[in-house]
Amino acid sequence: MQISIIEFSVENFMVFKNKATFSMFSRKNEKHTFESNGENLLKTSFIYGPNACGKTSILRAFLNLRQGMLFSANNKENSGLPFFPFLASADNLTKPSFFELVFSIIGENQGIYRYNFSYLKNHIVTENMSKVSSGGTEEVYISRNEQKIDIGKIFSDVDVILNNTRKDALFISQAALFNSPFALSIMDALKKIDVIFDHQQIQDYTIEMFKENPEFKNKILEYLKKADFCISGGRTVEVDQPVFNITNERGEFSTTNSIKKGNILYLEHSKYDENNKKTGTFELPIHEESNGTQNFLSILGPVINVLNEGRVLFIDEFDNSLHPILTKFIVDLFESAVINKNNAQLIVTTHDTSLLSYKDEFIKDQFWFTEKDEFGSAKLFSLADFKTGIRNDTEFSKKYLEGRFGALPFIQSIEK
């Protein structure tokens, strides 16, 4: 089963007062799109904008939707929902936050689906799900207003699920908890979407895969060599690591006697004599490599996994400690028809304007921007919204830095 993102919307969440919609839909383009259930979808997309203007909030909003669908029925009753309304407007404090995902599934329960929900601090306000036909009509599967819930025939054991659906849990999550086949298939699809906020948080995963999977290891080393890190090999060493636990309610830490097994990755570098003749090799543990090498290696784990399985990958601050050539290298993996055979999608937030400078290599639909108005409300818009004066062969970076698209920080000049 494969899931692809068509569209995602959020309203009254963090810096987004009004509804903002991000889309992976595009006109057919052999280099940049693939077809899924009749829709042409982008392989890659990039979100730009000043700090604190909504880039990360878009990813957090998506993660909020994903986690709610997967786990809200498992949460402790009356524990509260993650309600983070737009704080700069008094009216929004009493309005529900809204999230919507339009997605395509290939495989079991194939089709295009629209799912959304809204909630306040203590209860779900609305929840809706429908299957979208090729003609644009929608077959309703879930229609919910507070605790009045109407359910389509796709779900089994409806009465039992309804009787156990709490006011602070989503029906789709509760249905999966009761092993509804359709709900479980949707949950399996959602689990194929990964969100990364910190490159270091996935380093352990990459090292574990490097250790356990020879094919994965070879691919990591291949990409490191292509990225010109002067790395000729690598190995993992299992070590004992002390475990740190919170010992009291004040959050004080102490080392316990427990030990867990961990892995340290050593990367092999070539050694040369005064005549530049190779004489051997030396090793460096990963934590002694540069931040760029560490981040690039860490991110390669999820990237390779997503490409192999045709998944969706969100990355926040994509270019963190990475040279622009390396960010372009990773993007090219997803853009490649040879490597990305399974139509994986990559969606990133970034400040790397070099991606905007490649003439003829990207199209306007791939670039998105966030900015705040004078009242602190963020908006999200696409480069494709600029209908005149911007051709696909334009050097977008120059016009962006000139302020033609907005989404730049306003900084007062420094007196010299």
Task: With both helix axes pointing from N to C terminus, report the angle between 291-309 and 324-335 in degrees, rounded to the nearest 10.
Answer: 10
End-to-end CA distance of the chain: 60
| Residue 415, in any domain of the structure | no
Q: What is the pLDDT of residue 411?
A: 45
| HSE toward the beta carbon, residue 190, CA cutoff 13 A | 23
Q: What is the pLDDT of residue 401?
A: 54
Residues 171, 228 share a domain: no
Q: Are strands 111-119 and 124-132 parallel, antiparallel or unpaired?
A: antiparallel
| pLDDT of 149 above 90 | yes
**Plot region of 141 (φ>0 → left; ψ -120 to 50 → alpha; else → beta):** alpha
**Highest averaged pLDDT of the listed ranges 279-283, 346-350, 382-386:** 346-350
Average pLDDT, the chain: 89
| pLDDT of 29 above 50 | yes
Report, as an integer, the average pLDDT of 170-178. Answer: 97
Residues 91, 226 share a domain: no
In single-letter form, the type of residue at position 185 comes to S
Q: What is the pLDDT of residue 246?
A: 57
| Residue 52, in any domain of the structure | yes
Domain count for the chain, please give it: 2
Share of the chain above pLDDT 90, in %: 69
Lowest mean pLDDT across 106-120, 323-337, 366-380, 382-396? 382-396
Token couple for 250: 């004040």
State pTM to two decimals. Answer: 0.89
Cα distance between residue 322 and residue 295, in whole Å: 7
- In the sheet where 253-272 sits, what is the strand order? 231-246, 253-272, 278-285
* pLDDT tier at 53, thresholds 50, 70, 90: confident
Domain that holds residue 242: 200-309
Q: What is the pLDDT of residue 238?
A: 87
Lowest mean pLDDT across 170-184, 222-236, 393-407? 393-407
Report, as an integer, the average pLDDT of 168-196. Answer: 97
| pLDDT of 146 above 90 | yes
Q: What is the pLDDT of residue 226?
A: 85
Choose the final residue of a domain: 268, 294, 309.
309
Cα distance between residue 100 and residue 130, in whole Å: 12
Residues 172, 46 share a domain: yes
CATH number where 43 lies: 3.40.50
Cβ atoms 202, 301 nearer than 8 A: yes
